[in-house]
Amino acid sequence: MKRSRRCKIVATLGPASETEEMIEKLWRAGADLFRINMSHTNPAGMRERVRMIRAVEEKVGRPIGILVDLQGPKLRVGAFAEGGADLIKGQNFVLDTDETHGDSTRVRLPHPEILESLQPGHKMLIDDGRLRLEVIETTPNRAVTTVEVGGRISNRKGVSLPDTEIPDAAMTEKDRIDLVAAVETGVDWIALSFVQRAEDVRAVKAIAGDKAMVLAKIEKPQAIARLEEIMAAADGLMVARGDLGVEVPPEKVPGLQKRITREARRLGRPVIVATQMLESMITSPTPTRAEVSDVATAVFEGADAIMLSAESASGHYPVEAVAMMNRIAENVEIEPVYRSIINAQRSVPEKTGADAVAMAARDMAETLETKAIVAWTASGATALRVARERPRAPILALTPCRDTARRLTLVWGTEAAVTRDAHDVDDMANRACKFAVRQHFADAGDRIVIIAGVPFGTPGATNMVRIAFIAEDGLRAQ
């Protein structure tokens, strides 16, 4: 079941979609990867979801990616004596370490490291920004604030700190337990929440090793300030627009989305655009026109993937939401203006042999109007380099590593198949032609472009590009 679009779809699993039957329906509707949100499950629940996804993968005969999203530090206020309190604009409100239940004048903030980091002038956003406080006085155990935007504050509401750098790493003890379990279970991608610095990403990679790729979620102003170094450390990125839109002014989010998407493409890092893409489909069988336009914008920008959260996890119409996202992407990609926008975003390639070969493969495929670019790759790096060029022709990645095939389900325009590595140039060309026909990329009489590295099986050695003509028997013309 070859996809007819280049942009990939990530579907989050949850109460509405956590059966094997529903996972298969979502995949057939267009989902390429499945996200497991560790904020709502534990290692045992994660393992069961992985088992079901792998069962569906075996049934459909195609690689399916799995993304485990770590919860990250959740900052919350304590409890109130009466369940909550009303804060009035202009009043003072104190956050401290006192375990006594709160009232309209104070509440406990059970995060001493935050109280130690707050400075006068810092903003504090409560309940997804519905209440806004400004710090006016601090001690190690207490922060006095002025209420800038008042309203009802209740038990354990979330706290966002757009101006404050949290000294601790982005991983909590729960995250470490979940990460180890995810790596042992064999998931493909790990998403790290609330990244502030490159060291946060490196801490996850130190545990994951080469068993899973690490994706940095960009959702804090501190990450924006260090975007280049975070991108260099991570294997991929997610524009997590929900929390990002709380901690930075929402009118800045579209520009940041474009900046992150283009920078990720320049570096050859897969990028996901996420959060509230088809939000109304949680309760409605059809999206709003604005939501359709939002999804289309991400596709026009060349994002590697677009993601559904509550729409597929807990909504009433999970299959319909995936199918709608699939149709939007398909229709955007056949628009005449789509190709001109994608081409205009091309970056200057890095001065490496692999980048030169990838760019040459793209040019050859477009000049000759070949049906596919077939990339032999062990680590996936060759396919990533070709995908960075956003060629017109689809990319078929042939790899001896099943893990690589699964990871590439996140990469723009790339389909992967598992096969033994080529043993010589003729074998490389012949099997590339066979797989192009078998996977419905090409037919007899068509031409394909093949790229590979010699000697075969050497990671990072992409140095050869060939043109092959598919003969009637499915082999290349001699």
Active site positions, annotated: 35, 76, 217, 275
Residue 377: φ, ψ to 5°: -150, 135
DSSP H or E stretch at residue 127: none
Q: What is the DSSP string of 309-375?
A: SHHHHT-S-HHHHHHHHHHHHHHHHTSHHHHHHHHHTPPPPPSSHHHHHHHHHHHHHHHHT-S-EEE
Torsion of the alpha carbons at 74, 80, 85 and 88, rounded to the nearest 10: -70
Structure tokens at 157: 């509401």
How crowded is residue 406: how many other Cβ atoms within 10 Å of its Cβ? Answer: 26
Residue 470: φ, ψ to 5°: -85, 115
The answer to whether residues 402 and 430 touch, using CB atoms and an 8 Å cutoff, is: no
Instruction: Report the C-alpha gap between 101 and 113 in whole angstroms.
Output: 20
Provide the pairing of β-strand 123-126 with 131-139.
antiparallel
The answer to whether residues 244 and 220 touch, using CB atoms and an 8 Å cutoff, is: yes
Say which amino acid occupies 306. Answer: I
Instruction: Report the C-alpha gap between 297 and 292 in whole angstroms.
Output: 9
E strands, 208-304, in order: 213-218, 236-240, 271-274
The answer to whether residues 376 and 398 touch, using CB atoms and an 8 Å cutoff, is: yes
Residue 256: φ, ψ to 5°: -65, -40
Rounded to the nearest 5 percent, the helix, strand and coil shares of the chain are 40, 25, 35
SS3 state at 153: strand
How crowded is residue 44: how many other Cβ atoms within 10 Å of its Cβ? Answer: 8
Total residues found in the chain within this entry: 478
| Residues in a beta bridge with 94 | 106, 144
